[in-house]
Structure 1
Amino acid sequence: MTIGELARRTGLSHSRIRFYEREGLLTNIERRPNGYRRYPPEAAGVLDLIKTAQEAGFSLDEIRALLPLDSSRGTHKALLDTLRCRVETIEAFQARLEQTKSGMIALITTIERKPIGSRITVPSKVYRVKSDEAGPMEEVIEEKMFGEIVIREVPKKTDRRRR
């Protein structure tokens, strides 16, 4: 199949197909005596997989590991492991987005209930970094709304119990 036929089948431009070839994502391309490329029938399926993987957020290196299983590339198990790992990453990201959404909705509700001109405090999460070092200071990581991260040193909290 010529590059024109492959481009029509996949909806990709000629330059994009050549790019994937240069990147080593598209292999087994035959060169005819006139220099034209001749693509095997399975090239369309490979390009569809590449497009789908890119839309799902995979990097080119990750896609390289997912490509068709021949003697020079990964195994069936490696493909499944990579895909399962990506699904777990997506699910963790979705959970975090859901938390952020809930926090924003709660903040909207709080703001709507306050009179105009009132002071509004934006919630944040604070993580104390455990340290074996002696000294009066410790690091605190504060994760604020909307993804801002602040790292600062603060006086260590001491365990002062009444006797």
Structure 2
Amino acid sequence: MSFRSSRSTSRVLTALGAMAALLACGVAVSPTASAAVYPTCNTTKAVSITSGHSVTVPAYGSSKTLTCKLVLNQSTENPAVKALQRSLKNCEGYSYLGVDGFYGPQTFLAVEALQKKYGLFQDGIYGPDTRDSMKHYSSTLGCARL
């Protein structure tokens, strides 16, 4: 095992351990005291970028609000995660990332690296700040920012 994969594995295991401890205690922690609570993205929304072109982004509910988040969770397949993975893979250079709809360790690490790239708080959670900073995939346009 290389140093890089050993380090990545260690980071994922540390993140998973911390998450398990928080869940076991029933405690929620946010990076700031005033951090907003957003619902979990569970669908997608086409957002118009230019005339006739749109990008697909994670969204929540029947109203398809864009104010939602995605966190490390491998238990359910989600179209919102697929949209995120497609954008990370095709627009942000994470070509190794699979598009399977599960927000697993690879997706978590890609989001964390993306957050570092754009100078955001590095928590591995896809939320409004990450959404607004990254490029999103469009089958007709390629990649574009909101």
Shorter-chain TM-score: which interval? under 0.3
Is the helix fraction higher in 1 or 2? Answer: 1
TM-score, normalised to structure 2, is 0.24
Bigger RCO (CA 8 Å, 6+ sep):
2
Indicate the structure (1 or 2) with the bigger Cα radius of gyration. Answer: 1
TM-score, normalised to structure 1, is 0.22
